[in-house]
Amino acid sequence: MLFLYIGLGLLGLTLLMFIVVSMIFGRMFFHISFDRRKGDKDFAKTENPNDKKRPSRIWFSEQKLEELSIISKDKLCLKGYLLNQNSNKLAIILHGYRGRYYSSTAQAQFFFENGYDVLLPNNRAHDTSEGDYFTMGKKEVYDVLKWINLMVERNPNYQIVLMGISMGGHITMMTAGRKELSKNVKCFVEDCGYHSLKEILFDNVKNSPRVKFPKYAFICGEIYTGLFHHFSLNDSVKNSFKNVKIPGLFIHGDKDTYVPYENLDKNYDAMPEGIYKEKKAFAGVEHNRSVFVEPEYKDTIINFVNRFIK
């Protein structure tokens, strides 16, 4: 009987140790993937000076911005920045993973110069927006819907194009398929967005030098995320596009390894038949570089958008 008690005690201790180790792996996964980066709010002070010298950043620094805010469903104050020229056309541009509102100044410039007002939100847990962590799409979709509704309240005549880059591209596609999407949104553009949150996270964990057992760490992270932050990693464009009603343009560089190039066809093919769609692959272009190296990039987007917004 004594040996039985000892055996049960050892089994219980082993199980407890396994749970503790699993939660440590889960917390590490969540920290790497979703936590606000230390010093994020002071990023502008330490930013690479060369980034500030880009023509679009110089142009942007000379523009007058209006700071706007919304309160998210979970009571976070989120900030956005509006370039306003009293147009009835509006481009809402969503930045990428650990970016910020001025990460998309090149896109903002060509939309503005083509007669659009431009809204550049900071995603939750980025730059001036509140939040200790972000979700790469799950909660951000509801934030974007609030931004859209705010802008329609300001100007009911707005015709809106929703555009996103990388993570912002995924958020854009997930938002485009929401049933409650305002009818003021006429089309969307996504640039190098990922199709599946779970797939892109698994690739990141698998390639991380800090994690030696990627499959185990990923499973731990998935459980930890659901238990402690109440959202699932099962977030795919295919599911969102079951309800999509607006036209879409899909862009990707064929040398993209950060969000692999095959995501272009996955996203494009997920759009239902009967909904207008276009795709454009740029040869030899890496992740999120098309806007800087491809002269056709701007015209591809403007020509598409002008089909649906007049």
Structure confidence by residue, pLDDT tens digits, 30-53: 888 899 987 776 666 666 777 778
Q: pLDDT tens-digit profile of 252-280?
A: 999 999 999 999 999 999 999 899 999 99
φ, ψ (nearest 5 deg) of residue 254? -80, 0
* H or E segment and range at residue 29: helix 2-34
For the chain, how many helices (H) and strands (E)? 13, 8
Name the token pair of 254: 């064929």
pLDDT at 9: 63
Whose structure tokens read 């606000």?
A: 36
pLDDT at 288: 92
Whose structure tokens read 């809106």?
A: 160
97, 117, 100, 99: which is closest to 108 by C-alpha?
117
pLDDT at 12: 66
Contacts of 58 (CB under 8 A, 6+ apart): 52
Whose structure tokens read 């147009």?
A: 87
pLDDT at 271: 95
In angstroms, rounded to a whole number, what is the distance separating the alpha carbons of residues 160 and 172? 12
Say if CB 177 and CB 214 are below 8 A apart. Answer: no
Does CATH place domain 49-196+235-305 in 3.40.50.1820?
A: yes
Cα separations (Å) of 217 from 31, 208, 236, 268? 12, 11, 21, 31
Contacts of 171 (CB under 8 A, 6+ apart): 94, 123, 136, 137, 140, 141, 144, 164
Convert 147-171 into a string of H (helix), E (strand) and C (coil). HHHHHHHHCCCCEEEEEEECHHHHH
Residue 210, SS3 per DSSP: coil
In angstroms, rounded to a whole number, what is the distance separating the alpha carbons of residues 167 and 192? 8
Taking the chain (310 residues) in runs of 10, the rounded mean pLDDT of each run is 64 71 84 84 67 87 96 97 97 95 94 97 95 94 98 98 97 96 98 95 70 74 91 89 96 95 97 95 94 92 95
Enumerate the domain spans of the chain: 1-35+202-234, 49-196+235-305
In this prediction the pTM is 0.92
In angstroms, rounded to a whole number, what is the distance separating the alpha carbons of residues 215 and 29? 11
φ, ψ (nearest 5 deg) of residue 282? -105, 120
